[in-house]
Each structure stands twice: as structure tokens, then as C-alpha cells.
Structure 1
Amino acid sequence: MTGTSRHAAREADPAFALLLQLCARAARHAAAESAAPAGRVEDWQAFLRLVDRHRVAGLVHLGLGRVAAAVPDDVRRAIAERAGVLARNNLAMVAATIRLQKAFDAAGIEVVFFKGALVGQRAYGSIAIKQGKDVDFLVRPDDLAATVMLLAGEGYRPSIPEAPLTPAKIDALRAFQIEAVMVDPARGVQLEPHWRLTENRRLLPLGPLLAGADKRESLGGVAIRGFHPDDEFAYLCVHGARSGWFRLKWLADLHALLVGLPEEERARLYRHAETLGAGPAALLAFGLCRELFALPVPAALARPVAAPLQRAMHRMSISCLRDEDPQFSIRRVVVLPMLHALACGPLHVMAEFGRWTVNCQDALDVPLPRRLYFLYPLLRVPLWFGRLLRGKNRLGRKTAGV
């Protein structure tokens, strides 16, 4: 990659360049050279749309206090208002996290919180900066039924999939899905309980992650069980790669966690990610952080970052970052995950194809005993056609779809 093309993404649009600069300066250990200086922004409404599109109002608000940027007062006020709403929402989610940690402890259910406030605290030194829409946590698959009961007792109701969550539905979710969505209508807090971290079971295996989890950090003086920071790094890389890095906030979080580390520590994090099957995802993250935030890639990784599959994923991720509505694009949902699986190896490709053979909605609509689960790939097209005729797809955009 030439020097000109390497910096094209951040220099093509002054509004995007300013966004990068402000996000970079929000990092807890920000370096002055983390992003290229922005040019003159002409369309400030487009800049605000970028802030909303990438969900970085908190980072931009913090960055504006650290960068001498000529930003109109009305734009600063708009950013401050967004950041204020974000801070209030984050406080509600932190309060929910604390309540849930205590409830899970009392019930004897092992839970691990990830992303969210714990990452925000480490990356930006504050729980009020990082934007999120829900509280993510992981439980063991065997604890899913007990988890649903506990959450119901705490006032949470199923949103995706819809209630009621019968034993048959819980079995289907455990077999064919990795997460659900539950909402507390009284407090306005949304949860995403996970029982796996990826549909591809060869990525981020649960055993090592659960073994390394501990109550290393606290929120509001309460110890919260989270992933080991090394494991969280691997997860964030995989989450970004499989999501196409279509939101800048994910890459900004990763950059903020890496920017204060010496080169040998960044290289060590990559080696650890490799042990969890996340090596290709980590290489992609390093390459994107170099292009967008000028974060140096460890010398030992310079050649792997430039490998052909990495270059292809890199170009696609940059395109997804710039798409106005990339969340449901074919290249993000299908092509990039397959490229990532190919970079991981043939067994990962087989696993990726395997996860597309079953739509979890089929198992929810037509519950079968476990011994007949092999029929779902055969039923996928007729059941999809039946839902199409009835206008029914309750899992909505959370499912893979046909």
C-alpha cells in the first residue's frame, strides 16, 4: 500500500478527518500524532450526521476540549447535548450492571460483562464517554434458562425473540443463536445476554475466556466480573472484523486501548489473539488503526498486515466505514465474514458455511426435538417462503435471514 492510498481514507473528507482527530484525542493515553490534522469543514450538518452515524458523540465532546479546532458554537452545543444524553444513559446502564452482578452472584450464576462501561473506563478514563445501546454479558450455555428466569424477576422482558421464551425456544436459541435482547421498560435499559461470542465456535472458545475472567475492575465501588484485558482485546478485534468495522466507535475504542502501549506489548496482544483464533482479526485491526489513527504497527506484524486477504478485508472495512447505511449490506454480512473465515483457515470456512444452513427463526417457529435438528437446513427455504407470505420474521434483522 502506497503512502498516498494509505492516508486516502482520512484525508478524503475534512469532516471525517476532524472526526478521526477528535476521537483519537479522546483516548486516555492519547498521542498528539494519533490522527492527521483536519482541513476546513464546510458542511457542519454532515459532520453531525457522521457523529450520529458512528455513535461517537462522547468522544467528540471530550476531544473538542483537547484539540484547537474551529468548530461553530451551535455545533459544539449540539455535541454537548448529545454527550449529556449519552452520559445519563450510561449511568443507567452502569446501575443496571451493578444490580445484575449482585443478582447473579446471589443466584450462583457465573456471568462475565464485556464491552460497555468496563472498556470505556479503561480506554477513556470515564464511564460517561463510550456510547452503547445495551449491557452485554456472557453466561454459560447451560445457565441460559436460569438466566432468563433471573432477568424476568428483575423486570426484563424478551424483545428478540418475542415472549414467551418457552423451554423449546430456549433450547433453539442455545443451539442456533449466540444472543438475545431483553428490555426493562420501566428503566429503559436493554440487555444482550450472550451464551457464545461468535456463531463460529472455533473463534474465541468459551473455556479459556471464562477461565481468565475475574473481578479485576469495579463500577461504583462494586467489583464487576469481566474478561481478562488480553481476552477483551481479542474479542474486540473479532467483533469488529465480523461486523465490518462499519462504526468508527469500535475502532476508536481499540485504538484508545492500544495507543499507550509499547510496541512489544502490542505484539504480545497479537500473539495472544492468535491462541484464540483471532489472529487475522487482530491484524486487520492493527492495519486500520495505522491508516485511520496513525498508530504504528509492530514491526514483526508489518508483513502479515499486508497479506492479500488482509488487504481485501482492509479495503472492504474502509468502504463499510464510509457507507451511509452499511449495517445490512451483503458485503458486510456475507462477504467480509467469509474472507475473515478464509484468513483463519479451512475449518473456519466450513464453520461459516455451517452457520448459514440454519435460520434460528425456523427453530423458534417450528420447535423440533434435538434429535431432529438436522432437518432445519432442509426446511429453511420453505419456512422462509411461508414467513414471507405471512409477513412474519420476529427475529428481524438480528437473524442471518435467507
Structure 2
Amino acid sequence: MTAAALDLLCRLVSSALAAEEGRTIAPVPLGEVPARDLLDAVRRHRVPELLASRAGELGLPADVVRVLDAMVAGSRQRHLVHTLETVRAWRLLDAAGIEAAVFKGIPLSVLTTGRPDARGAGDVDLLVRPEAAAAAHRLLTTTGWALHEQGRIEPGMWAWRHVLRWGHTLTYLGAGADVDLHWRLDAMPGAQPDTDALLARRTTVEVGGTRVPTLAPADAFRHLAGHREGWIWLRTLVDLRRLARDPAVFGQELPVPALTSLAAARATVGLPDAVPGRVLAALDRIPDATLARARAHHELPVAIFGGAGTGREVRNGMASVRRPRDLQQLAVTLVLPPHAALPIRSATAWGGVPRAVALRTRRLVSRR
């Protein structure tokens, strides 16, 4: 992706969001940026729905609008399947008496815009209490979902216990939509509120004709701002700007990772007028070098980073340390992170730990 295409996309997205907020906007000329480069940037940053909805006000040329409309039309079937799978996954847990919330995805779209199709389809993210994770796992794996091939673990194995204690999510592959099962919003305990508090504060939105519980706006905002994907897609920063329209989301002090994401949002898609002055002053203190790293992420041609998130997870973890348990978590992340246990099939730590350490060592050596 060219720097010019990213700059143009940021101007278009910022103007489209301003129009959502009721402001009058002027057309944004493409200038010297080829239409193909702009459309590649739109795909990369997952914002065709936003630009297509404001194409007339933005003054986009007809050939660009046709491609945007085709992108949106092409995702409608996937969006329908995503809706059905979101409702199905939540109903499975609810019928079994497992208290859960569905976040990101379609619920976030409804929460921020009132429309289920305002952002593209993706995975189904479920949040349950840690003690309910095993029951949720059994439900998912007996109704069409399966753990990723590198994660054939089951409750009772050492790896399951290691992942449950030190991790926060497992991914289940499905024919319609994948499910990310979370028992915490972040592996670092101090980074996000505990699950009991999140579930107690949850709200509901309508998805596919069903009232589905989701995170309260302030919790959704804090999660997205602190999430390790915050620098990868403009779509996440769009979500942050939409959530930041509610002054109530700034009721608590934000940690450094969250402020960094907000600073990246301000530098790309802009922020609404509702952001308090004290928060803006904190954003002014984010180093330019940090924003330059965010910009470098945005310019990457593809949004696939594999395991490369570990470095940022460690940086975020250090910034999120609040208690001794956080220091333990940081140490485990460095030595034997949860994902290192996923391929290990052993009932006990005596057999599991040496195998996981050996496998991790081989992988680290092979990367050199």
C-alpha cells in the first residue's frame, strides 16, 4: 500500500464519520492516487461499508462506487451466515444455562450504529466465565465447531489447564463462521475488568431478530482500545471513534495501550468532539515514535501478522501491570505462553511442560 493511498483513505474515512455525526462535509478528491490503489487500501482496512454508505457526500467517482457496491454486495451472504451463526452460538450457551456475552462483530455494529451491516462480517466472539469454559467447549465441539488443528486439547489435559490459567481465548473453526471463545478479554488480568463485572454490566442488542447480550459501551470501548489488533485495521479505529461519541466511555482512567490506540485513531480517522480535554492532553504525550510504528502497521499490504503480535503483547503487558499476578502473567508469556501448549497432548505437567518447552525452543531457533 502506498503512503498516498493510506493518506487518502484516512481523509475519506474521517469525512464519512463526520457525516455520520451530522456534520456537513465537502467532497474529497482522489488527486493523483489511482483508483486501484485506493480500493486496495479499502480492502486492506475493511471499510467498504462505511465509504459506500457516504459515497455521494464524499464525491467518489462512479468507477470507485461500482467497486465499493460490489464489495458490499459480495459480503452480504457471508454477513447473513455470520448473523445466523452468532445467534446459534449464543443460543447454544444460553439453553445450557451458560451466561455469556457476544462482542465485536455484528453486536458491535448494532451498538455503535444501530445497523447490523455497518461493518463487515467476521468471527463470533463469545465471553463466558472461566469456570464455564469447559462446558462451552463441549457444546461447541459437539455442534459443528472444532478447535484449530494446532489446538487439539481437551479439558483434563495439562495444556487445557495451562491455557485456561494463562490464556484468554480459544478459536473454533466452523463451516459458517469461526468462534473465538473468551473467558477473559485479555490474558493480562490488569488490562481489562474481570469477567464477572463485564457480564454484570452487559447490555443487549438485536441480532437476527434475537436480543443478544453484548458488552456495555464503556467496556467495549476499553477492550477495543487496549486490544492488540488496534493498530492493524482502520476498521477498529472507526469502531473506537464511534464508541467515543458517548462521553460516558471516558468515566475511568485509560491505560497507556488504550491511549496509544486513541492517539492512532486521532492521527488517522479522527476523534469526535465528545472526547474530554484531559484525554486529549494525555494523547498529546504519546511519543511520535509510537505513532510512527502504528503508521508502519497501517501501510503493510496485508493484515496478517501471525505470531508477531507477541512483541506488542509484551509491551502492552508491561504497561498494564497492576498487581503481582500481572507480573506472573508477563513472565509466563515470555517463557511458556499459552499458545505453546496447544499442540501438547499430555494429562500432567510432568509430561506436558518439557514437551512444550522443547517445541517452543525448536521454533525459536528455527526463526533465527
TM-score normalized by structure 1?
0.77
The equivalent of 1:238 in structure 2 is: 226
Q: Distance in 2 between matches of 1:388 and 1:304?
A: 37
The equivalent of 1:200 in structure 2 is: 188
Say which SS state the counterpart of residue 188 (structure 2) adopts: coil
Say which SS state the counterpart of residue 196 (structure 1) adopts: coil
Q: Which runs of 5+ in 1 are unaligned?
A: 1-10, 392-400
Greater displacement, 250-259 / 229-238: 250-259
**1:182-193 to 2 correspondences below 5 Å:** 182-185=172-175, 188-193=176-181
Matched, 1:101 2:69: no
Give, as a single letter, the amino acid of the residue that structure 2 aligns with 1:60: L
Label 1:129 to 1:138 Cα distance change in 2 as closer, same or farther (>3 A).
same
Say which SS state the counterpart of residue 148 (structure 2) adopts: strand
Q: Distance in 2 between matches of 1:218 and 1:386?
A: 48
Label 1:153 to 1:115 Cα distance change in 2 as closer, same or farther (>3 A).
same
Label 1:148 to 1:336 Cα distance change in 2 as closer, same or farther (>3 A).
closer
Label 1:163 to 1:366 Cα distance change in 2 as closer, same or farther (>3 A).
closer
Whether the 8 Å CA contact 1:246–1:326 is kept in 2: the answer is: yes
Greater displacement, 347-356 / 146-155: 347-356
Matched, 1:315 2:292: yes
Matched, 1:50 2:41: yes
Q: Distance in 1 between matches of 2:18 and 2:142?
A: 38
Q: Distance in 2 between matches of 1:165 and 1:85?
A: 37
Shift of 1:384: 2.8
Q: Deviations over 1:142-181 (max 9, x none)?
A: 1122112211332222225444646315334313432222
Whether the 8 Å CA contact 1:362–1:380 is kept in 2: the answer is: yes
Whether the 8 Å CA contact 2:124–2:179 is kept in 1: the answer is: yes
The equivalent of 2:234 in structure 1 is: 248
Say which SS state the counterpart of residue 190 (structure 2) adopts: coil
Give, as a single letter, the amino acid of the residue that structure 1 aligns with 2:222: A
Say which SS state the counterpart of residue 202 (structure 1) adopts: helix
Shift of 1:379: 5.9
The equivalent of 1:352 in structure 2 is: 330
Q: Distance in 2 between matches of 1:359 and 1:35?
A: 49
Give, as a single letter, the amino acid of the residue that structure 1 aligns with 2:251: R
Shift of 1:45: 1.4
Aligned residues: 361
**1:321-360 to 2 correspondences below 5 Å:** 321-325=298-302, 327-328=304-305, 333-345=309-321, 351-360=329-338
Q: 2:268 aligns with which of 289, 292, 295?
A: 292
Say which SS state the counterpart of residue 127 (structure 2) adopts: strand
Q: Distance in 2 between matches of 1:109 and 1:54?
A: 35
The equivalent of 1:134 in structure 2 is: 123
Whether the 8 Å CA contact 1:15–1:41 is kept in 2: the answer is: no
Label 1:82 to 1:37 Cα distance change in 2 as closer, same or farther (>3 A).
closer
Say which SS state the counterpart of residue 94 (structure 1) adopts: helix
Shift of 1:200: 1.0
RMSD between aligned residues? 3.4
Matched, 1:30 2:21: yes
Q: Which runs of 5+ in 2 are unaligned?
A: none
Q: Deviations over 1:370-402 (max 9, x none)?
A: 6659x84x765532355689x9xxxxxxxxx99
